Structure 1
Amino acid sequence: MSGRRRLALAAAGVLLVWAFLAILPAPISFPHPYFAQHPRWGESIPQIIAHRGGWGLWPQHTLYGYRHAVDMGVDALELDIQRSSDGVMVVFHDRRVGRVTEAGGRIDSYTFEELQSLDAGYNWSADEGATHPFRGQGLRIPSLDEVLSTFPDQHMIIELKTNDAQSAEQLCGLLRAHRHQHRAIVASFDTESLDIFRQVCPGVATSASFAEAWSYTILHLLRLDVLANPEFEALQVTEFKGPLTLVNERFVDKSQGRGIAVQVWTIDKEQDMERLTDLGVQGLITRRPDRLKRVLEARGRR
């Protein structure tokens, strides 16, 4: 048999295997309790997820902002957590404090008491720095313990910004102490961090890491969804990646059929909110929860 013929037969075999796998149905899974207890799961109504508490409206990651977001009726708060120099888990996004507060330096160089002296509303502005209405209003960087205590019934997406076992164990302990295991999704871009958390805190929902999300998405694009073996319950993704459209109706339907929620970030324009709502995504992560609420109300979905 000639080499060309062998190559043709091999290619035909690969195509046959691909075609067979492409038509196989992916396993059906039921949603995690985080989603199952939500009244709008499965109704093509996206959860309103307030990115950093809705920081297009008020200072990010402050109890003030969280209270207003909860009063507005958001479905979930999105948080970022790190550790102070004395080991307190604090809610803060950046590695350095300068973009938010009047000070400078890394957040992990401050004790929690020192962080409490900083003004978390200092640099927030709705008019590109012309005014700073929250400066000097007593807004502080909260601990995760404070947030869980203040909002015991609120769903949350909590992103680990530190990649170590101690942080994973500490987060698990706080969720258990506050009985918040089924009201939290734990996220991280780092697969190793999530693997550690999943080991120490089984039963708590997690989002896909960057690598996990890409692997899952590539299999979907190749229509080889059946080969995916996800360890996560949520996919927090952008709608587009370069020339690729990652989020479409098939992607949403296939994911939801496996009990995986597609949550798209960061969506602040009303036309994007409308389009993604029509696709049936399970969550929209937004700096402007007021706009998303208005879009959903106009469609009779709130």
Structure 2
Amino acid sequence: MSHPFFGEGPKPRIFGHRGFVSAASASAGVVENSREAIAAALAAGVDFVESDCQLTADGRVVLFHDATLTRTLGDPRRVSAVDYAELAELMELRGGLLTLDEAVTDFPEARFNIDMKSAAVAEPAGAIVGQLAPDRVLIGSFSEALRLRSLAAARAASGVRPATGAGQRAIVRILTAVAMRSKALLDRAFSGVDALQIPERQGPVRVLSDRLLNEAHTRGVEVHVWTVNASEHMLSLARQGVDGLITDRADVAVGLFR
């Protein structure tokens, strides 16, 4: 059985990747992970908002993907070198800055998939999740160590274990166990994981397979594929039986499946 975080809604579940920025919004200067992007994803009808967090110089957990402001704001500084007030001013005309605590309180019905992007942010973000929304946030990270630290902080704050997605090392262990067809290894590899969030392929290597899906589903683990933007690709993965699609095109996904 899936973690209660996922609920009983229809599949494939639709995750708005860093919110949703339409072409019109992008031309107006709106950027990913902004307040406007998160609101637009929810208005479009996504089931979950996929986002990321970083820590500002004065210790605020903000929704932001990159370690620097270069790609999003054209500023070479690191997020960790800028305080909240200045970053909020920089984001004012780009859709608005959103902190993690604001995200879960200002959008009280929304469910979030939050990726921990730095060692500094893992525990503060986990504590916010535990204090404010342990049942509405899935904690993930590319780093298995950061994922576990954030998860522990959330559990310490609430006594509840939020949903969590496997980090890179856990995914490698799972793929190895699937290839070896060892039930004991599979049980250990999937333990404590509620979702695999993976690309369909990594370079020449195919990550998603029917066998992986079957082994995950046997253990109540969902499989979500990123980043899927073309309608035919979405339909193909849905037919294969994936549980969720992480997409930049919330409008396309909602139009197809809802």
**Matched residue, 1:263:** 224
**Is this contact kept in 1: 2:139–2:151, CA < 8 A?**
no
Identity %: 27
**Matched residue, 1:38:** 8
**Is this contact kept in 2: 1:163–1:190, CA < 8 A?**
no
**Matched residue, 1:221:** 179
Which runs of structure 1 show a deviation greater than 6 angstroms over 4 or more consecutive aligned residues? none
Is the radius of gyration larger for structure 1 or structure 2? 1
Residue-pair matches, total: 244
**Matched residue, 2:113:** 157
Q: Give the TM-score normalised by structure 1.
A: 0.76
**Is this contact kept in 2: 1:232–1:260, CA < 8 A?**
yes
Alignment of 1:248-259 (within 5 A): 248-259=209-220
CA distance in 1, matches of 2:94, 2:60: 20
CA distance in 2, matches of 1:95, 1:198: 21
CA distance in 2, matches of 1:53, 1:292: 13
**Matched residue, 1:246:** 207
Deviation at 1:47, TM superposition (A): 0.7
Work out which of the residue numbers 188, 192, 197 in structure 1 matches 2:145: 192
Aligned AA for 1:46? Answer: P
* Uncovered stretches (5+) of structure 2, i.e. residues with no partner: 26-30, 156-160
Q: Give the TM-score normalised by structure 2.
A: 0.88
RMSD of the TM alignment (CA)? 1.8
2:64 is the counterpart of 1:92: yes
* Uncovered stretches (5+) of structure 1, i.e. residues with no partner: 1-29, 121-136, 297-301
Alignment of 1:1-302 (within 5 A): 30-35=1-6, 37-40=7-10, 45-55=11-21, 57=23, 58=25, 59-119=31-91, 137=93, 139-164=95-120, 167-178=121-132, 180-202=133-155, 203-228=161-186, 229=188, 230=190, 231-296=192-257, 302=258
Secondary structure class of the residue paired with 1:100: helix
Deviation per residue, 1:136-158 (Å, 9 max, x gap): x4622221122112111211100
Secondary structure class of the residue paired with 1:263: strand
Aligned AA for 1:193? Answer: L
Q: Larger % of helix: which?
A: 2
